[in-house]
Amino acid sequence: MVGKFLTSAVVTGLLLNVTVSTAQTAAAQASLASDSSFIVTASSLGLLQVQLGKLATQKGSAPAVKEFGQRMVAEYSKLNPELAAASKQAAYPSPVILRQHQKILDLFLSTSKGSFDQKYMAEMVSEHGDAARLYQQESEHGRVTSIKDLASKLLPTVQGHQTLARETAGKVGVELTTAQAQ
């Protein structure tokens, strides 16, 4: 009787241990997935910013929009290799433009020069707000140290882009929502 009880207790203990280990493994995988999601999304956003910045220098009418586009090309051309190196170091896929970002690029490729400035700057305010939140989240909750550190390092730059996008949008008459203005 005692033997059966001990055997039952040992089996129960092993099952609990496996269950806890599985839950811990799942939590760790979810954290790593968020790191992977960050690097893939941030890299795609960076590639998008270069392409849209080039379009802004070609299709933009206002000098402020052209300057903003030039700055995005220059700054993301420096940031993108850092994101690519971090991606490679963490054994994540090489940077590509995600489908959602390709749709945005396609939209601006077909946008007429006359309506480009306001549409572009409204998109830049939105995209940089999303990017700032993405970088903030990773810098606070990332599990892969090299990626978390990179997000922390680049966050002030992305926040600066967000501020500059708002200022430039104001110069070309884009009306921001209360959330975008903050």
Distances from the Cα of 1 to the Cαs of 4, 7, 12, 84, in angstroms?
A: 5, 10, 16, 62
Q: Are 71 and 164 in contact (CB under 8 A)?
A: yes
Selected from 1.20.1260.10, 1.10.579.10, 3.60.10.10, 3.40.190.10, the CATH number assigned to the domain covering 31-173 reads: 1.20.1260.10
Question: What sign for the dihedral angle of Cα 80, 49, 91, 152?
Answer: positive
Single pTM value for the model: 0.80
Q: Convert the pLDDT of each residue in 36-68 to its tens digit.
A: 999 999 999 999 999 999 999 999 999 999 999
Q: Convert the pLDDT of each residue in 113-154 to its tens digit.
A: 989 999 999 999 999 999 999 999 999 999 999 999 999 999
